[in-house]
A = this chain, B = another copy of it.
């Protein structure tokens, strides 16, 4: 782990990331030593930093550190955390913000091939997402809603939980974004009021025309295909939701293939 460029595995208790969750994170797939969608992750980090009134990030410094830490790791997960740094007790930001920058490497999780090929089983979570336009979309460090939702089940047969918002709209998975197709149209939730705007979600928007709209559990039960995605798992079809079964659909398969090529391309053309 690198903390502000130094090898270290602890952080100050007075760091506002610890005191208040006052910061952001990114989770990046490293494939054959190469961070996938690196620029998209850095751009999101940059945009969200501005939304949190953090000082301008030094993206070049981050690129250098990421390159260094990823040498010879093969396949892994890189997590970047940026916090508002240390500050006195109290919510008020310090006058002079010295952000904390943490890079950590983690083993790439070995998911069964069946998750990709046959899809996964999901459930609907009771824990709802609160609505807050000021924080919506950001991958910030306030993640108790996801922790509480993930704590609802302990059955290893279930790979993901779907979260609704306070008003009952379907938003996303605990760790993924969610899309569904109906009559050859692709839909996902708008993230103006809650949810995390994932990098793979953004990539799907570039590949296909997607309709952002409000939808409910019933729409999912009537869908032709459903998939979830994130930067580590890629794309998984949903094969079962609340006892309803789905085939892995053509749109899902097409996107899985395209995502694989995109990854291979990024590895092949890496500088």
Contacts and interface: CB of A to CB of B under 8 A. Distances in A.
Interface of A: 1, 3, 8-22, 25, 27, 52-53, 77, 79, 81, 84, 88-93, 102, 104, 106, 127-135, 140-151, 166, 174-175, 194
Which of A88, A131, A174 lies at the interface centre, i.e. has the most chain B CB atoms within 10 A of its CB?
Answer: A131
A23 to B, nearest CB: 9
A102 to B, nearest CB: 6
A52 B166 CA distance: 19
Nearest to A135: B144
Which of A88, A102, A144, A174 lies at the interface centre, i.e. has the most chain B CB atoms within 10 A of its CB?
Answer: A144
B143 A22 contact: yes
B175 A104 contact: no
Contacts of A194: 130
Contact of A144 (B18, B20, B77, B90): B20
A53 B10 contact: no
A147 B12 contact: no
Given A79-B89, A89-B77, A20 B134 contact: no
A250 to B, nearest CB: 31
Contacts of A3: 13
Given A128-B133, A134-B145, 7 more contacts: A13-B102, A14-B104, A19-B143, A91-B174, A91-B175, A93-B150, A166-B166
A140 to B, nearest CB: 6
A100 to B, nearest CB: 10
